[in-house]
Structure 1
Amino acid sequence: MKTTTLLLTITLATLASCSSYTRIGDLTGISNRNLDDSQEYVLIEREVEAVAKSDNDALEQAVDNMTKEYQGEFLRNVKIYVKSNGKKVKVIGDVWGVQNTNVNVTASAVAEINLQIGDSVVFNRRGKIIDGKIIGLNSNSVIVEYGKKNKRMEVKYDDVTKTE
Structure 2
Amino acid sequence: MKKAFFLVAISIILTSCGSYVRIGDLTGISNRNLDDSEKYVLLKRDVEAIAKSKNDDALEQAVDNLTKEYEGEFLRNAKIYVKNNGAKVKVIGDVWGIQQTNVNVTTNANAKIELKIGDNVVFKIKKDILEGRIIGLNPNFVIVEYQKRKRKKIIELKYDEVTKTE
* Structure 1 length-normalised TM: 0.92
* 1:107-146 aligned within 5 A: 107-146=107-146
Match of 2:28 in 1: 29
- Contact kept, 8 Å, 1:22 with 1:84, in 2: the verdict is no
Match of 1:150 in 2: 152
Task: Give the secondary-structure state (helix, strand or coil) at the position aligned to 1:150.
Answer: strand
- Percent of residue pairs identical: 67
Match of 2:101 in 1: 101
* 1:66-105 aligned within 5 A: 66-105=66-105
CA displacement at 1:76 relative to structure 2: 0.7
Following TM superposition, the consecutive aligned residue runs of length 4 or more in structure 1 with deviations greater than 3 angstroms are none
Match of 1:41 in 2: 40
Matches of 2:64 and 2:58, distance apart in 1: 10
CA displacement at 1:84 relative to structure 2: 4.8
Runs of at least 5 residues in structure 2 that lack an aligned partner in the other structure:
none
Q: What is the letter of the counterpart of residue 108 of structure 1?
A: N
Matches of 1:59 and 1:141, distance apart in 2: 27
Task: Give the secondary-structure state (helix, strand or coil) at the position aligned to 2:94.
Answer: strand
Matches of 1:153 and 1:43, distance apart in 2: 11
Matches of 1:94 and 1:20, distance apart in 2: 23
Matches of 1:130 and 1:115, distance apart in 2: 17
2:17 paired with 1:15 = no
Q: What is the letter of the counterpart of residue 46 of structure 1?
A: R
CA displacement at 1:86 relative to structure 2: 2.1
Matches of 1:159 and 1:65, distance apart in 2: 29
Match of 1:62 in 2: 62
When the two chains are superposed, the root-mean-square deviation of aligned CA atoms in Å is 1.5
- Contact kept, 8 Å, 1:141 with 1:156, in 2: the verdict is yes
CA gap of 1:101–1:92, structure 2 versus 1, over 3 A, is same
Runs of at least 5 residues in structure 1 that lack an aligned partner in the other structure:
none
Matches of 1:89 and 1:70, distance apart in 2: 19
Task: Give the secondary-structure state (helix, strand or coil) at the position aligned to 2:151.
Answer: coil
Matches of 1:146 and 1:118, distance apart in 2: 12
* Structure 2 length-normalised TM: 0.91
